[in-house]
Amino acid sequence: MSAHARPGGFDTRVQAALADPLLKLAIDRTTGTARTKRAAAVAAWPGFAAGRDLGRDIKDHVIDNLGHYLVEFERNALASGAKIHWARTGQEACDIVVAICRDAGARTVTRAKSMLGEEIGLPHALEVAGIERVETDLAEHIIQLAGDPPSHIVWPALHKTREQVAALFQSHHHDPGALASVEAMVASARRELRGRFLAADVGISGANFLIADTGAVCTVTNEGNAELTTTPPRVHIVTAGIEKLIPSTAHAMAMLRLLVRSATGAELTQYTTFHCGPKRPGDLDGPGEFHIVLVDGGRTRMLAEGLAEMLRCIRCSACLNHCVVYRQIGGHAYGGTYPGPMGSVLTPMLDGLAQSQDLPRACTLNGQCQEVCPVAIPLPTLLRGWRDRLWRDGLEPAPARLGLGLWRFLVLRPALYRLASGALIRMMPAFARGGWIARMPMAGGWTRHRDLPRPPSRTFIAQYRSRKPLP
Amino acid sequence: MRPSIGFAAIALLEAAGCRVEVPLDQTCCGQPALNSGDREGARRVAKRTIALLEPFEHVVVPSGSCAATIRVHYGELFDDDPAWHARADAVAGRTYELLSYLMDMRGWLPERVSLSATATYHDSCSGLRELGIEAQPRRLLARVDGLSLRPLEGSTTCCGFGGTFCVKYPAISNAIVEEKAQMIEATGADLLLGGDLGCLMNMAGKLHRRGAATRAFHAAEILAAMGGGPAIGEVE
């Protein structure tokens, strides 16, 4: 189950989101900038299309040879002095992290933003274990203060406007000062967090890439908080999904080019760090213990169930930023850890199809997500796959099933089809005023929000038949 | 819903030198079943449509999403059925969307067609992303005397129709088409043109509900010199 099951059903959450003008403003500001910057970055890189093919091929190669690269990564990470832990489920992963924290006598942990951590419910597990968690990513800090789950995989606090953030800081920070500008807000967060970085017993991060031939873990941030999370504490724990593997540092470079441009439109993030093993003799800093928790969490099941292409995902969020549905309803309405198109593919796998059946359906299949995906994941095809499953499992609601059944019955019988469509368009003008129908029985889904054009008196086929003498 | 598109298609194909036949037993390509997860239903409809269309040299469809269903998706439906897969592929390879067919396959351009108006064009998603239709309608429309095309901001962004999506999730669909309508109105164009009736009805219905004066046509109607007739939602 998702760590952040949201209250209400999908429709309720959608209604709440659509009724919130501040949410829309916040979404438009951030995704609008992201789209513009990504487009510029892609346009400025003539090799983008080739780079995208390469990225797809690298990920597919690793997915096809997952066992090989997992073993290679483990061997090299162990040689660097890291400890490797294998977790079949999110629960197992949380138990491992909590046990490491307890062994280290940890009271406070700092955490650098990790969507996998959200997926496995790590914030909740730490809370249950009585371990204080300090989120160090600025946006994660904001939503920790607000008590919200992330609403976006790159900008977790995307749903908060800067005005709302100022109010949050004003009431929670010890020394907020005048929060008149974004800079002042950042400075206040820095004052708040700086001491916490140095006082933490354990630092927990995710991974953008696990590099098989060195055993290193690569993270990218723009704030440097991952470095401050992983370096000063005695213990550094990495939690990572097994799909983060890539063969070598050179491959990481190929992926970074795609990831950063697709996410923020920059060529590189401010910080790209390779964490390899614990502090060695003679090192000035670094953690005494370095743990890597490798999480399956349904990923091998995705391989088995026709979702292997989804394991290419590098969590760049381009599909969210370009999705017409995400841009209207925001991340929380989706109800799972991951929102947007990639979330609508992943959540049924992670939380169960019955609970998240609206997600694959609430999509226009317009294909823009696939177009902008830096590893060419066929998201619409995968969403259609979930719809096939919903239909097979009998989860399609009765009215839709019935309607489609009737449609199918007629479509397979052309004479009846002509009769029925002729009757329908003869009936419809009774509801029309002039050329438009503003309300009609059974058509509320359409006419609640838009008018329906009045059909002609006869169908095309009927008109064509009478125009042309039959042979 | 709009026979004039069918008649415009016939006129354009004849002008481009084709002998046009309309199989009277045609119904629907099966897209609603395909997109609702009813693969068995989609297969049955597809088989029927394939058999119906097999005798023809080319199959031309005045809708990007219907054409893409046949061209792109029919084959996938028969991954486990080699005989039908081959038949599906054969028909798919001969199936074209109207506007791209006119330009790419026939090299046809309109001549002596005129309409004094400003227009803006929405790229319907299936045609754009599954069939690569973007330049053709604009180049064809640019040849219409007196018609000036205005760029539509976000012309490649979905209008929120999505087939059954628009009635299954009407509130989300509405929010999307509301934004689209605002963009269309902001162009100040007299006409909204497109290549897919579903999307056009969605946008035209929203524009009308908003009280906008924009009139909507299928691009084929304009090219076939039917732009003087009633727009979508206008009575003759």
Q: A437 pairs with which residues across the strands?
A: A432, A452
Q: pLDDT per residue over A377-413, tens digit each? A: 999 999 999 999 999 999 999 999 999 999 999 999 9
Could you give the C-alpha distances from B114 to B4, B148, B215, B226, B235, in angstroms and in order?
Answer: 18, 11, 17, 10, 22
- Percentage of chain B lying above the pLDDT 70 cut: 100
Average pLDDT, chain A: 95
**pLDDT confidence of residue A8:** 75
Residue B157 and residue A368 in contact, taking contact as beta carbons nearer than 8 Å: yes
Listed by start position, the domains of chain A span 10-300, 398-467
Sheet of B145-150, strands arranged across: B145-150, B114-121, B191-194, B215-218
**pLDDT confidence of residue B236:** 74
A469 pLDDT band, cuts 50/70/90, is: low
Q: pLDDT per residue over A237-254, tens digit each? A: 999 999 999 999 999 999
**pLDDT confidence of residue A416:** 96
Strands of A51-208, DSSP E: 83-87, 108-111, 132-135, 202-205
Q: How far is the alpha carbon of B230 from chain A, nearest alpha carbon, in Å? A: 10
Q: pLDDT at residue B141 above 80?
A: yes
CATH assignment, A10-300: 3.40.50.10420
Two tokens, residue A371: 């177009």
Q: pLDDT per residue over A190-216, tens digit each? A: 999 988 989 999 999 999 999 999 999
Average pLDDT, chain B: 97
Q: pLDDT at residue A6 above 80?
A: no
Q: pLDDT at residue A4 above 50?
A: no
Sign for the CA dihedral angle at A120, A124, A128, A132 comes to positive
Listed by start position, the domains of chain B span 3-102, 109-223
Two tokens, residue A379: 């998201």
**pLDDT confidence of residue A429:** 92
**pLDDT confidence of residue A468:** 63
**pLDDT confidence of residue B32:** 96
Q: What are phi and psi of B30, to 5 degrees?
A: 105, 5
> Is residue B206 within 8 angstroms of chain A, CB to CB?
yes
Strand A245-246 relative to strand A108-111, pairing = unpaired
What are the chain B neighbours of A364 within 8 Å (beta carbons)?
125, 158, 160-163, 165, 173, 176
Which of 321-380 (A) contact B at CB < 8 A?
324-325, 328-329, 361-368, 370-371
Decide if B3 and A463 are in contact by the 8 Å CB cutoff. Answer: yes
B109-223: CATH class: alpha beta
Residue B1 and residue A455 in contact, taking contact as beta carbons nearer than 8 Å: yes
Residue B177 and residue A418 in contact, taking contact as beta carbons nearer than 8 Å: no
**What is residue A432's three-state secondary structure?**
strand
Nearest CA in chain B to A387: B37
What are the chain A neighbours of B44 within 8 Å (beta carbons)?
408, 412
What are the chain B neighbours of A36 within 8 Å (beta carbons)?
none
Q: pLDDT at residue A267 above 70?
A: yes
Q: How far is the alpha carbon of B202 from chain A, nearest alpha carbon, in Å? A: 7
Q: What are phi and psi of A339, to 5 degrees?
A: -95, -175
Please give the Cα distance from B67 to B74 (Å, whole number).
10
Please give the Cα distance from A104 to B78 (Å, whole number).
57
- Percentage of chain A lying above the pLDDT 90 cut: 92
Least Cα distance to B130 among B18, B31, B205, B51 occurs for B31
**pLDDT confidence of residue A407:** 95
Residue A138 and residue A190 in contact, taking contact as beta carbons nearer than 8 Å: no
Residue entry with tokens 């997109």: B35
> To 10 degrees, what angle do helices A48-64 and A66-79 make?
90
Please give the Cα distance from B90 to B85 (Å, whole number).
9
Two tokens, residue A122: 């790590």
**pLDDT confidence of residue A442:** 86
> Is residue A174 within 8 angstroms of chain B, CB to CB?
no
Please give the Cα distance from B7 to B21 (Å, whole number).
12
Least Cα distance to B102 among B136, B133, B71 occurs for B136
Q: pLDDT at residue A2 above 70?
A: no
> Is residue A18 within 8 angstroms of chain B, CB to CB?
yes
> Is residue B48 within 8 angstroms of chain A, CB to CB?
yes
**What is residue A447's three-state secondary structure?**
helix
Residue B169 and residue A362 in contact, taking contact as beta carbons nearer than 8 Å: yes
Q: pLDDT per residue over A317-366, tens digit each? A: 999 999 999 999 999 999 999 999 999 999 999 999 999 999 999 999 99
Q: What are phi and psi of A112, to 5 degrees?
A: -95, 140
Q: pLDDT per residue over B3-21, tens digit each? A: 999 999 999 999 999 999 9
Q: Report the 10 Å Cβ neighbour count for B132.
A: 12
Mutate one of B35, B134, B177, B201 to test the A interface: name it (highest A CB count within 10 A).
Answer: B35
Q: pLDDT at residue B235 above 90?
A: no
Q: pLDDT per residue over A274-311, tens digit each? A: 999 999 999 999 999 999 999 999 999 999 999 999 99
Q: How far is the alpha carbon of B121 from chain A, nearest alpha carbon, in Å? A: 17
What is the interface pTM, i.e. ipTM, of the complex?
A: 0.96
> Is residue A390 within 8 angstroms of chain B, CB to CB?
yes
> Is residue B25 within 8 angstroms of chain A, CB to CB?
yes
Q: What are phi and psi of B146, to 5 degrees?
A: 85, -10
> Is residue A400 within 8 angstroms of chain B, CB to CB?
yes
Size of interface A-B (CB pairs under 8 A): 180
**CA–CA–CA angle B82, B88, B89 (5° rounding):** 90
Q: pLDDT at residue A228 above 60?
A: yes
Region A361-372: what's the mean pLDDT?
A: 98
Q: pLDDT per residue over A107-135, tens digit each? A: 999 999 999 999 999 999 999 999 999 99
Residue entry with tokens 């005989």: B83
Nearest CA in chain A to B202: A450
Of A81-85, A428-432, B149-153, B202-206, the least confident:
A428-432
**pLDDT confidence of residue A471:** 47
**pLDDT confidence of residue A179:** 85
Identify the burial level of A284 via C-beta atoms within 10 angstroms of its C-beta, where 0-12 means exposed, 13-18 middle and 19 or more buried.
Answer: exposed
